[in-house]
A and B are shown apart, each in its own frame.
Chain A
């Protein structure tokens, strides 16, 4: 690396540090929202109800359709991805499909943040399972996409936007 090259690198690093530290110093700076994606495997099996303890809210849901169809629930994975307006984030699912979530916009309504999102599920080499789903939800308000067959059961995708 040349002397000037080294200077350039060091300076750019300083730029990044200043930018990041400056950002941290701004108490009012909004933290970018994240989308929490939980992949849940649901089965109907002999025996009683079995719910992965990490699915803290599911017991209430299992009394309602379509959750009532299954009695074994296991969390296969949970991930939180930063979302930014207009920039899709993609998560590869256990069945090979790709879940894509795009934050379209966010605004405040009646004192609550409302997030308008677009969701799609594609399978490489095949058509879309879900070509387009547009949903508006408040922060920390989950919604689910279900119905994908997986290992004798089905997958529920729980999506929650975290402001």
Chain B
């Protein structure tokens, strides 16, 4: 436990909606950046804990001091804390879905029926970069064929696809009024720490067309 007591009190006040101004911003920033702080606030905010706690407190507050109440609650809360699923449900956190088949691919887009185009598409393959659209919405709405490759052709209404066994998959891009280019990176040694990691640069032209 490394959060100081005064910070805990501040987080408690945040969970109660009692903080304003700079103190609120400070506490929210801490919650955003510190997992432990976030856990404290989520625990405080967990609806069913709060209701049960209040009920318990009301029935025992007149008979016992706060420390004794805390002692009495601790074992029950420890059990609760031991169940990640319960904690997630309590805080309303969505659990990750089951395995999702992304396929072994490096998708810049999909051809034909797999696309939802919000605007006309101008395609070209530049040196190392691919302008995939202008005001374009590229939606991967079905599983992409693994072996399909970027066509390399300047063909309106068609977006090619590059397949790879690893790396970043761009599933969808929507940038109205801006040109979009995608650059595949194949350099070794980028931040992944892996031996080779394909990555991508999504380039959004600043100028509005």
Interface residues of A (CB under 8 A from B): 4, 6-26, 29-32, 56-57, 60-61, 63-67, 79-82, 84-87, 89, 105-109, 114, 116, 121, 127-138, 140-149, 156, 158, 160
Contact = CB atoms under 8 A, between A and B. Distances in A.
B74 interface: yes
Contacts of A80: 33
A105 B66 contact: no
A121 B205 CA distance: 13
A7 B186 CA distance: 60
B128 A65 contact: yes
Interface stretch (B19-27, B146-154, B155-163, B187-195): B187-195
A87 B105 CA distance: 27
The 7 closest A-B pairs by CB, nearest first: A22-B81, A14-B70, A65-B128, A19-B43, A10-B66, A132-B174, A18-B77
B102 A136 contact: yes
Interface residues of B, number: 82
23 contacts: A7-B57, A7-B66, A8-B54, A17-B1, A18-B81, A19-B43, A22-B78, A57-B189, A60-B190, A65-B183, A85-B95, A87-B93, A89-B32, A107-B98, A114-B100, A129-B175, A133-B172, A134-B171, A136-B168, A141-B194, A142-B190, A143-B168, A146-B202
A141 B192 contact: yes
A156 B203 CA distance: 9
Interface in B174-201: 174-178, 181, 183, 185-194, 197, 199-201
B110 to A, nearest CB: 13
Interface of B: 1, 3, 8-9, 11-12, 32-36, 38-40, 43-44, 49, 53-54, 57, 61, 65-67, 69-70, 73-74, 77-78, 80-82, 84, 87, 93-100, 102, 127-129, 137, 166-178, 181, 183, 185-194, 197, 199-206
B43 A131 contact: no
A83 B87 CA distance: 16
A11 B185 CA distance: 53
A145 B12 contact: no
A137 B169 contact: yes
Nearest to A106: B96
B8 A32 contact: no
B11 to A, nearest CB: 7
Given A13-B8, A18-B81, 8 more contacts: A19-B81, A64-B185, A80-B33, A106-B96, A116-B102, A130-B204, A140-B192, A143-B200
